[in-house]
Copies of this chain bind each other. A is one copy, B any other.
Amino acid sequence: MAHKVFFTPGPAQLYPTFEKHLGVAVREQLGSISHRSKQFRTIYRHADEQLRTLLNIPASHAVLFTGSATEVWERAIQNGAGRETFHLVNGSFSKRFYEFATELGKNAHKAEAPFGEGFAVDKLDIPAPVELVCLTHNETSSGVSLPAAEMHKLKARYPEALFIVDMVSSAPYPALDYSLIDSAFFSVQKGFGLPAGLGVWIVNEKFLAKAEALKAAGQYVGTHHSLPSLWRNAKNFETPATPNVLGIYLLGQVAQDMNRTGVETIREQTRQRAVQIYKAIAASGGLEVFVKMPDHRSATVIVAGTRDNAPALIEKWKGENIVIGSGYGSYKEKQIRIANFPANTDEEIQRLLTAIGQL
């Protein structure tokens, strides 16, 4: 089978060093080690340290592991809000985050923007009282991003509320200021170029205090995974139950590789590649940039409208071993999604640009 190059918004292209690290993991029999062993704690600690360096996470925040980022939606709402949540909703994933809050019985408020549009954060008013503000840095369905600086400005206006950022399909791209952002999370099968099956939850002491207060007041904060038990275990570089040990090992290794390159280099490369891809789409006869406002365009998930049938284009490119994502939900026939994650090489990006240019 010919080797495919993935530009899919996750699961995605695997990081170039993935196979090497997997080989080491197999040789060192990491699939068999106890999650209560020193060897596992060393693996957790290494991933923790590398992620702290990469994402500039301060000591006030813990790095926790869950089964997926979707699980973090549930756990964060259970642990971060007694009653009042606020959500920015502008696509399928931010909408699901909001729906989780309503399913959890919260009084969930939202500000909505049409699919393909972002928010003018200056003009937003969050109704009082609010406990937890849920932001989506990168709306994977529509390719709209909420710049980190805008999230920081919003937090400055509502310093009392807990702010949590879904950066599932953008991490490590957004340079979040964790003196403002109380919590953020992602899954490893997007920007980190790893197989799915692991969520990463970054969360601070203020969020923990809230969870403990809610628990003390009788609120259900989770059994398999609650923030207090995840936190307590993490202090010892352990997890409440047996985690995806192999996934944590691989994440630590890829984060270390990224640190060797330097996160600013990776971010600048992502920015430059995004400019090139958007430019190629705009110049192409067969595609058009979907997100109209340049400031709202995602650097990591690029959505384009197709002149012709989108599934046919996806099939055509698949024949050339270039795999891209389909439009989300009802946009399947008329849109494609192209991921721009750090795992892709310069050469692969050139192949993509050439393919776009030939449409």
Interface set of A (CB-CB < 8 Å, partner B): 1, 3-4, 6, 8, 10-14, 18-19, 22, 26-35, 66-71, 73-74, 77, 100, 103-105, 187, 189, 194-198, 220, 222-225, 240-247, 323, 325
Contacts and interface: CB of A to CB of B under 8 A. Distances in A.
18 contacts: A1-B27, A6-B29, A8-B34, A11-B35, A11-B242, A13-B32, A22-B26, A34-B325, A69-B241, A74-B222, A103-B220, A103-B223, A104-B223, A195-B244, A196-B243, A196-B244, A196-B245, A196-B246
Contacts of A8: 32, 34
Contact of A224 (B30, B73, B244): B73
Contact of A245 (B4, B11, B13): B11
B224 A70 contact: yes
Nearest to A250: B31
B224 A74 contact: yes
B28 A12 contact: no
Copies in the complex: 2
Contacts of A187: 242
Contact of A68 (B10, B13, B242): B242
Contacts of A28: 1
Given A189-B242, A242-B10, A242-B11, A35 B71 contact: no
A34 B12 CA distance: 8
Contacts of A74: 222-224
A29 B10 contact: no
Given A32-B6, A223-B73, A242-B189, A197 B194 contact: no
A44 to B, nearest CB: 13
Nearest to A3: B29
Nearest to A187: B242
Nearest to A22: B26
Nearest to A32: B6
B100 A223 contact: yes
A196 B248 CA distance: 11
A29 B14 CA distance: 8
Contacts of A27: 1
Given A6-B32, A27-B1, A29-B3, A68 B224 contact: yes
Nearest to A78: B223
Contacts of A34: 8, 11, 325
